[in-house]
Chain A
Amino acid sequence: MGDAVQLLIGTRKGAWIYRSDEARRSWAVTGPIFLGQIINHFVVDPRGSGTMLMAAKTGHLGPTIFRSTDGGATWTEATRPPAFRKSDDSTTARAVDYTFWLEPGHVDEPGVWWAGASPPGLFVSRDDGVTWDSVAGFNEHPMYWQWAPADFGTPDGPLLNQIAIDPRDARHMYLATSTGGVFESLDRAQNWRPLNRGVEVTFGPDLYPEFGQDAHFIAVHPLNPDRIYQQNHCGIYRIDRPSNDWTRIGKSMPPDIGDIGFTVLAHPREIDSAWVFPMDGTSVWPRVSPGGKPAVYRTRNGGETWERQDRGFPTEQAWFTVKRQAFGCDAVAPVGLYLGTTGGELWMSDDEGDHWRRIAAHLPEIYSVTAGPAS
């Protein structure tokens, strides 16, 4: 297996698989898979089964989950995709518009997967993605409609956009939502509480509400799960548990770049290292590379300082950005970074961000990039 890498790419118009050689220099492509389907997330089980899951829908058809157990050669469909409980109350009857996030369960729970959806919903599978159940602990929580108001959310709808599990404890989970911010469970999703203290909200009357934040992405550090980085709608934050207070580490970003973006990536080995891909969050929120000059910013000291890493990227007139799940890394030394752009380009760095090169272009808008060892 060596250092060869596999990239699972989900786009607005289908999925692709890129597999590299040992040097990560040459890439072979498979695809398109499910051409025309909107693939919000495309992941492989890292726990050994190798099962691949893909969250799909189309402009016309309702959402579903596709599964492959042979490395993406053949696919079947979940027999019961994520769906809310049937309700007789038309004011609270929800239907999954699309599944946005797929999370393999804890390593001690093979076959368990979690899914997040729009409108915000949490779902679990106990049979490796074949059937899915609504998780009442969140979806029927007494505070649900305060945490996930129906008329509140992103242009593509409100999201439960991420699920993270403490690798030390399957009961300890985090959610990120676009409507309520971050939530924590200590009892394996049976109950939840907001975890947003110190996170600013610039789009409402209360600067520091208990909930109501838009948590674009959280990165629970794999080596020290008490360290969590967050790229929020209103800045870059960090928390060190058991503290309940987030610290805005994006204030140390260059003022002309700012600290707005969709995603943040933790270094797989260095606790104080992380990367972000800033976007323009000024005026009408263009959500493009600031000044048309794409760059990754890296911190090596937990957010005290940031360094610009743009060698290889276009130096002008490049207006793409990188969405929530479109920034990933391998675990090779040095770490390889991979990002997919809204302009359908796939970029990589094989030296932890110092140099970048484009490995694919002309794909549809990229929604997700998952990197891992090639099988």
Chain B
Amino acid sequence: MRVFVPSQLQSYTAGATQVDAVGRTVDEVLRHLDKHYPGIRFRIIDEQGRIRRHMRLFVGADTVKTVAQIVRTTDELLIFGALSGG
């Protein structure tokens, strides 16, 4: 599936704004992403598997509430840095 990478994480993807990853769930997609871009997952997801407070994930237009959410290969995963103060 196509993953959209926000500016905050493009240092991991060598500047790429979109990358491809595979998985049956958001969690699997992010773990796959982490194999290619080591360290990227932990900056989005904490050690308890929760989406970090100032990160936002969407599958298409739908908010991802848990990384267990099932995805299809035709979906797009959008990662955003949310509002986080000055």
Contact = CB atoms under 8 A, between A and B. Distances in A.
Contacts of A205: none
Interface residues of B, number: 21
B30 to A, nearest CB: 12
Interface stretch (A57-65, A196-204, A259-267): A57-65
B48 A77 contact: no
A77 B41 CA distance: 13
B15 interface: no
B84 A87 contact: no
Given A77-B38, A79-B38, A83-B42, A60 B47 contact: no
Nearest to B54: A60
For the complex of A and B, list the 3 residue pairs with the smallest distance between their C-beta atoms, beginning with the closest.
A59-B84, A95-B46, A60-B81
Interface of A: 58-62, 64, 77-79, 81, 83-87, 93-96
Contact of A84 (B6, B9, B47): B47
Interface of B: 6, 8-9, 38-39, 42-50, 52, 54-55, 81-82, 84-85
A13 to B, nearest CB: 10
B82 A60 contact: yes
A86 B85 CA distance: 29
Contacts of A95: 46-48, 50
B73 to A, nearest CB: 27
Given A87-B48, A95-B48, A96-B46, 7 more contacts: A60-B6, A60-B84, A61-B8, A61-B55, A62-B42, A64-B42, A95-B50
Nearest to A57: B43
Contact of B52 (A62, A77, A79, A85): A62
> Most chain-B CB neighbours within 10 Å: which of A77, A83, A87, A96?
A77
A77 B50 contact: no
Given A77-B39, A79-B38, A79-B39, A61 B46 contact: no
